[in-house]
Amino acid sequence: MNLKEVKKLLEAEVLWGNELLEKSVSCAFGCDLLSDVLAFTPPNVLLLTGLTNIQVINTAEMIDAAAIVFVRGKRPTKEVIDFARQKNIPLMATNYMLYDSCGILYLNGLKGCEGNR
């Protein structure tokens, strides 16, 4: 699935990275624990989270995440968005809850990160 489809399915707003929406993601991971994100994700993952602090961007950089979707209507600060731009990590925001966001993507064919545990 590419980021354009993710945007459409989650009725998401692109906070940064409109020009990168053709990028494909291999799987998705929904989590509000950064340590678990670091522990259980493969590269090129779509990260869904309600955390909006700068460490989410650092974490995404370390794991080679494809993009981040902020759920529950959460919006990071401009500083955090600018930081993601520097790191070339696209950001989206959806009003759906984490569970619903994951469910919608899963139903449309984007699976979880298998075999990592």
Q: Give the binding site for another protein (CB under 8 A).
A: 32-39, 43, 49, 51, 53-56, 58-59, 61-64, 87
> 2 or 44, CB closer to another protein?
44
> 9 or 48, CB closer to another protein?
48
Q: How many CB atoms lie within 10 A of CB 14?
A: 18
**Rounded least distance, CB 45 to another protein, Å:** 11
Token pair 């990260």 in the structure block, residue: 47
In angstroms, the CA 14 to CA 5 distance is: 12
Name the residue type at position 115. G
> 49 or 94, CB closer to another protein?
49
**Rounded least distance, CB 26 to another protein, Å:** 14
**Rounded least distance, CB 109 to another protein, Å:** 25
**Rounded least distance, CB 113 to another protein, Å:** 14
**Nearest 5 degrees, angle CA 16-CA 89-CA 4?**
60
Residues linked to residue 27 through DSSP beta bridges, in sequence order: 45
In angstroms, the CA 73 to CA 39 distance is: 26
In angstroms, the CA 89 to CA 114 distance is: 23
> 7 or 101, CB closer to another protein?
101
